[in-house]
Amino acid sequence: MAPLIKEFQRNKNIFKIRICLTGQHLEMLQQVITFFKIKPDYNLKIMKPKQTLIEVASKTLKELQPVLDKYKPDLVFVQGDTSTVLVGALAAYYQKSKIAHLEAGLRSKNKYSPFPEEGHRLLVSPLADYHFSPTEGALKNLKKEGITSKSWVVGNTGIDALFLGLKIIKEQKLESRIIKDLSAEITDFQNMVKEFKTKKKRLILVTGHRRENFGQPFQNICKALLEIAKMNKEIEIVYPLHLNPQVKKAAEKILKNKERIHLLKPLSYPQMIWLEKLSYFIITDSGGVQEEAPSLGKPILVTREVTEREEGIKLGTAKLVGTDFKKIVKEANHLLRDKKFYQEKAQKENPYGTGQASKKIVNILKKEKKNSE
């Protein structure tokens, strides 16, 4: 949302905006708003340890009411597929404020995968008044569901954020600070970076947090990472662990203190996108990373059975490997050992936008506003 907020602020003579945070994952949240220099107007501070999905949803709905009562927005933006998105849309609907949905139309076609995100998407679309889709495929999904008006393909604001973030890192010369911070967790990281840049070593970046992978599937992924590290002496695997204790405990049990595998605390946004750019390829179950990686020319192995980012699979920027131990190891080795195959994957163009989504959205709303006057 950061680049869209910035774009609205550049048009403050037309739009008056307010920023509301739910307050989930406070540590991760604070560094993002600091990095992008965003000042929130409201923070619901809903997060408590071990909350259930129902508790998160009900508390967010209750806390949003006084905000919407006080501000009475003409339009409420929600982005993606989290509990916040569903509840934000529902609260806006109850207040009869119009709803704009970013990333509209993404579908895995399995309501339990990813869970609960796919269900959230299916519920938000009928409530929304404006639908901003990242791709033509997402727009077609909406049309199949009977949503044909006020819908546009704009790309994804996440790609805008990626390019803006990398620009900030370069302009503010933050690379040395990032290397210093990561060196506190990775021994000899400074020399590793030099070897990554000269191709003497290769970095595999890993992320994983999906609920549907908890338990044995997640253990399979970790065992595959261990095998990849054993079979390829010239690689380093960097895995920033999600805050969810089910992820952290399982990963540490299998991967902690293993050679060439580095388990890190959650990364800041600039650290994450800098590592994405430095990596050779990425193993992930993240939807956002599936979109960011092609912009950086990085192939992806997706540890999910289905994905709502089908365009990347069709173009070949991403490969679905699920949680199958043998398949993960096989595909990782293919990327590491077949340079021609790697280049074919790395040189594909990004189907999720060129970094202009925020400008397109604001221009559309300018026209909508003018037409309604």
Please report where in the chains the tokens 């408590």 appear, as a residue.
Answer: 48
Residue 334 falls in the annotated catalytic set: no
**Strand, helix or coil at 161?**
helix
Residue 117 falls in the annotated catalytic set: yes
Catalytic entry in 7, 63, 81, 308: 81
- Quickly count: other Cβ atoms within 10 Å of residue 7's Cβ: 19
Residue 63 falls in the annotated catalytic set: no
**Strand, helix or coil at 143?**
helix
Question: Residue 286: phi, psi to the nearest 5?
Answer: -85, 135
Give the integer Cα–Cα distance in Å for 313 and 315. 6
Q: How many alpha carbons fall within 13 Å on the CB side of residue 235?
A: 26
Give the integer Cα–Cα distance in Å for 334 and 312. 18
**CA 227 from centre of chain:** 27
Residue 185 falls in the annotated catalytic set: no
Cβ atoms of 204 and 238 closer than 8 Å: yes
Catalytic entry in 63, 103, 291, 292: 103
Q: 117-127 and 83-94 helices cross at what angle (nearest 10)?
A: 20
Residue 103 falls in the annotated catalytic set: yes
Residue 209 falls in the annotated catalytic set: yes
If phi > 0 it is left, if psi is from -120 to 50 it is alpha, else beta; for residue 353 that is: left
Identify the H or E element spanning 65.
helix 53-71
Catalytic entry in 120, 202, 210, 242: 242
Catalytic entry in 101, 107, 131, 209: 209
Catalytic entry in 211, 227, 334, 368: 211
Pairing mode, strands 202-206 and 75-79: unpaired
Catalytic entry in 63, 117, 160, 212: 117
Active site positions, annotated:
81, 103, 117, 209, 211, 242
